[in-house]
Structure 1
């Protein structure tokens, strides 16, 4: 059976090994619409009498948090903010922190900025879920 599915793009996924991007055996196929994607997931792919069963991508629901300034929405490598301690919210690196006080830079509560119970973390996580599943 031949299906005429419309593909927008195909990427070979890569992973970082010893600070180098290396190809994997996984590809990402982007279709023009949801119907094309669902058809592909049901029928699979046949190449030279070999059948491949595709898997849907698993969306990342974790907020991106910068490990330099501890804010959400960007990674450290793009951060232009000053370094903030994730323990006490001081303007120094966490590995040199001597404070016994714990304070979150994002919500001013008494927990580390990396806490999964932080109101700001939970708000960002919920925002991502709404974007993905709506």
Structure 2
């Protein structure tokens, strides 16, 4: 307890008394601290208290409760009722405190309904369960089915385009090969004609030369 007093003093928390509680006439681990100011109490509850190398938590003391009879309003339990007549503790009328016909109870219920009515009339909260945020399963199925069909059509178009490209390339290749073969044939014929003319020219020139010699 002296360590706790020193820790409170070091923390600047002024106190009136420190009392260690008992359990079955034996000292318990719980210590009751009465502080001098409400702010000190709030600070101790929020921050706790460091005593040496230990950090101790603190909580506000619960006030002592007193039994009240709901039938007669006396300071005792309902089972130990002494008065014969019922008396409401809230309105002092002759009925039990938990009666639904109590004027105080009805007044409180009306206030609660008014507060709820004013709140709901001034603030319109949209329902989160809308078809935009949560579409029906049928629409989800149709959308997924449409996407699936679109994917199938796209795949079919890609396949057709590939086939068309292969056909066009094949046709162009055959045309180029045929054109190349034709050009080679023309060049070959031109070479043959040129060689023939050259040979004929040589023969003619040869004969002319012989004739000139004679």
TM range (shorter): 0.3 to 0.5
Bigger share in strand = 1
Which structure has the bigger radius of gyration? 2
Structure possessing the higher relative contact order (Cα contacts under 8 Å, 6 or more residues apart):
1
For normalisation by structure 2, the TM-score amounts to: 0.31
For normalisation by structure 1, the TM-score amounts to: 0.44
